Structure 1
Amino acid sequence: MNDITTPLFSIITPVYNSADYLKKCINSVLAQTQKSWELLLIDDGSTDDSLSICEYFGKNHENILVYSQENRGVSAARNLGIERSRGKYLCFIDSDDWVDEDYLENFVRNMGEGNFMVVQDHKRILENGKEIIRSVNGFNNEIFTLPKDLSKLIKEYRYIQGYACGKLYIRELIFDNNLRFNKKVTMGEDEIFYHKYLQLIYKIIFIASDSYNYVARLNSLTSRHAGYTSEFMYTLECNKFYHYILKNDNSEANKKYFTDKFSRNFNHLLRTIIYHSRQYSRQERVQFLKDIYIANRESLRYLKGDTVLKKIDYFLFKMKMFYLLDIILILKTKYN
C-alpha cells in the first residue's frame, strides 16, 4: 500500500457512465512510478457499473477514495474532489482517458518555485485505438513569466485552454483564493478555471512529454450544446480575463487581437439567442440583450463590425435599441 498520510498529489477523476474504460484509467494511476498520491473517484450518478468498479478499487487500495453524488455535472464532481483532496498538488484525469507510468514523475522533475503551473502535452487516440497522434500541441520545454508573457501565452498556446487535464495545480493556492469550477457553465468551464488560475501564478512551465492519453470518442460530451445561460456566463468570464490581459499589456497589437476576441464573443451570444429563439418570448430575448449590455459595458468600445450587417447590429446594441435588434436578428434566421 502507498503512504497516503500526506500525499504529494491528489488526482481527481469525475466518473459518469464510463464502466467500459474506467479500469484502464485507474490501473494507469496504480502503475505510476511516483508513489505519493491519492486518487479521488467522484461518481456523478452513473447508471452503469461505474460506481461498483470504483468501490472495488477503493476497497483494495487505501489511497483510492470513492465518493458518490446525484448527477450534478462534471464541474460539481471536480469541486467535490477539490474539497476532499489532501495532496500538495492537484491534477485531473478524465475517466475514459489514461496516463503513462511517468505522468506524475514528469511533473515532479519540472516543478518550479513559488506559485506556478506545469503543463504536459498529450497523445490523441481515436476510440478504435487505431490512430494515435503524438504530441498534439507540439510543446517545447518552455517557461512563461506572468503576467508579463500572458498575452504571448494566450496567443501561442490558445488550444490548451479548453481542458483541465495535463496540468498541475497548487492545492493551497486554489483553496486560498476559493477557486472552483463554475457549475453554471456547461461548456468552457475548464477554460474559465484555467484563466482564473493564471491570474494567481507567476510562472507556467511547458514540458514536451506527452504522457497523458486523451481518447476522442464519437459520442463525447464535447458535442453537447450549451444553453444561453451557460454561454452568457462563459463569455462574460472570458471578457473579464481579456480585460485583465489588456491592463497588463495595452499594446496596439493586443488591442487589435482582443478587439477580435470581444467581437467574436458578442457575435457568439447573438447566435445563441437566435438558436434558442423559439424557446423564449421576445420580451425574454430583449432582456438577454439588456443583460449582455450591462455585463459588457467595458467591452463596447472594442466592438468593430467587418460587414454592414454587423455594423448595424453593433450600432443598435450600443444605442440600446434592443427591440429593433431582436426583430433584425429573427428576420436573419428566416431569410438566411
Structure 2
Amino acid sequence: MDMNKYNLSVIVPVYNTGRYLERCLSSLTSQTLENIEIVVVNDGSTDNSPGIIKSFSRNYENIKVITTQNSGISTARRIGIENAASEYICFVDSDDFVAEDFCMQLYNAVSINAADCGECGYYSFSDLRMKTNYLFQDNLTLGREEFRDLIIKGNIIAGRQPSFMWNKIYKKEIIVSYVLDYGECALEDYLFNMQYYAGVTKYVYINKPLYYYRGTLNSITKTFNPRLFDILLKVQEYKEGYMQALGLNDEECRQASYSWFMGYIGRIVYRVYVYKNAFSRKQKKELVVRMLTNPKVLMVAGNIKLVPGCEEEGFILQVKNKLFDKIIFKQIIYKNKAQIIKVIRKLLPKKYKSLYTNSSGSL
C-alpha cells in the first residue's frame, strides 16, 4: 500500500444515514487540501445510503468504498483504518459535515509542528440551535509532559472535556501500535483516545470550529443501551490499569477517576428513565438497584472524597446510604416534569403560579 499517495485519509462509517449523507460527502469532496483519500465504510446500510455512496464514488476517484455486514461503528472504523493509504487519519461521522478547510487546517497543524495528534473546535447543532465549542481560549502546542497533565489527566482521567474522535487528526502508526481495543456500542471514542494518547509526544490545538456535529436535543428520540453499565465497568477497569502503567495513580488522579465514574453512573440512571426502552417500571428499578449495589460502584462511592457543592455530591451520598428509592423517584419526577408543571398550573390560583415557576415558565 502506497502511504505517500495521499496526504490524509478520512474514514466515514455509514449506517442508514441517507438523510444526511450527501451533505457529509459533499463537504469532504470540497476540501481545500489536495490529495486526500475518503474511505467510506458502508456498515450494512438498508436505506438509500448505498445509492448515494455509489453516485459519489463514480464522480470522485479518491473515494474508496468498503461494504461490510452490520457490525457497529467501532468495527467500521477499524476496517477503515486497515484500508487507509496515508500516514494521517481523520474520522467523520456520516450524519455530520465539515468546513472546507477542516482537512487543511488539521493536516498543516500536525505536519508543520511534527505533532502526533491535532484537535479543533466544533459546532454542535440540531434543528433548533447551534452552539460553538472551544476546548481552550487560544491555539495550543503541547509537549509530552504538558499533554499528559492537561489532556490525559484533565480529559481522560477527570473527564473535564468530551473525548471525541471526529474533531481530531491521528497518525496511523500510533493507532496500530497503541489502540488494541476499539470498544463497543458506547464509550468507544473515549476508549480509543485513552489508548492513543499513550503514544502522543506532541499535540496541537486549533482554536477554530471546523467540524459540525449533529446532536439530538430531544431525549425522547434517544434509545437506552442496556449494556452500557457493563461497558462502563470494563472501561473503568482498563482505565485503572492505564493510569497505573502511566504512573498516574496518585490520590489526586484516583479521586478524579472516581468522580468521572460516579458521574457516568448517574447519567446511566437518568437514561434508564428518560431514554426509550422496553423496560417496565419494575424492571427499571431492578436494573438501577443492580447497578447501584454492584461491588465496584459501592467501593468507589465509599472511597470517593466529596467536594461540598460538587455536581455529583447528592447522588453519591444517596448511593453510599443506599437511598435507591430516592434516586429513582428523582428520575421519575424529572421525566414527567412537563406534565407536573401542567397539572400545577391547572390546580393553582393564578396569583400563586409565579411561586412555582421561574421567568422562563419552568419549575
User: What range describes the TM-score normalised by the shorter chain of this pair?
Assistant: 0.7 to 0.9
Structure 2 equivalent of residue 37 of structure 1: 36
Identical pairs, percent: 24
Contact 1:263 1:303 in 2 (8 A): no
Q: TM-score, normalised by structure 1?
A: 0.74
Q: CA deviation at 1:38?
A: 0.9
- For structure 2, which runs of at least 5 residues remain unmatched after alignment? 307-312, 333-363
Cα-to-partner distance string for 1:33-72 (whole Å, 9 max, x where unaligned): 1112111111222222111110111122221011222322
Name the residue aligned to 2:338.
none
Check conservation: 1:9, 1:89, Cα contact below 8 A: yes
Partner of 2:309 in structure 1? none
Task: After TM superposition, give the deviation of residue 197 of structure 1 in Å.
Answer: 0.8
Q: TM-score, normalised by structure 2?
A: 0.70
Give the 3-state SS of the residue equivalent to 1:47 in structure 2: coil
In the other structure, the counterpart of 1:109 is 108
1:84 matched residue in structure 2: 83
Deviates most, 50-59 or 199-208 = 199-208
Q: One-letter code of the match for 2:141?
A: I
Aligned match of 2:222: 223
* Contact 2:88–2:169 (8 Å) recurs in 1: yes
Task: Name 1:236's counterpart in structure 2.
Answer: 234
CA gap 1:223/1:144 in 2 versus in 1, 3 angstroms: farther
- Structure 1 pair 333/259, CA: closer, same or farther in 2 (3 Å)? closer
Cα deviation per residue 1:161-219 (whole Å; 9 max; x = unaligned)? Answer: 34210101111111233535213xx2221111111111121222111121212233457
Q: Which amino acid aligns with 1:21?
A: Y
1:208 pairs with 2:217: no
- Kindly report the root-mean-square deviation, in angstroms, between the aligned alpha carbons of the 2 structures: 4.0
**1:1-336 correspondence runs (5 A):** 6-111=5-110, 116-127=116-127, 131-146=129-144, 149-154=147-152, 158=159, 160-183=161-184, 186-218=185-217, 223-227=222-226, 229-241=227-239, 244-245=242-243, 248-249=247-248, 253-264=252-263, 293=295, 302-303=303-304, 309-313=318-322, 333=328
Offset at residue 312 of structure 1 (A): 4.2
Give me the whole-angstrom Cα distance separating, in 2, the residues matched to 1:221 and 1:248: 42
Q: Distance in 2 between matches of 1:99 and 1:143?
A: 23
SS of the equivalent of 2:110 reads coil
Distance change >3 Å, CA 83–CA 149, structure 1 → 2: closer
Is the Cα contact below 8 Å between 2:178 and 2:195 reproduced in 1? no
C-alpha displacement at 1:329, in angstroms? 5.1
CA shift, 1:121, in A, is 0.7
Q: Give the 3-state SS of the residue equivalent to 1:248 in structure 2.
A: coil
Structure 1 gaps, min length 5: 314-327
How many residues align? The count is 312
Residues 254-293 of structure 1: CA deviation (Å, up to 9, x unaligned) = 444334234445666788899979559x8xx87x899x64
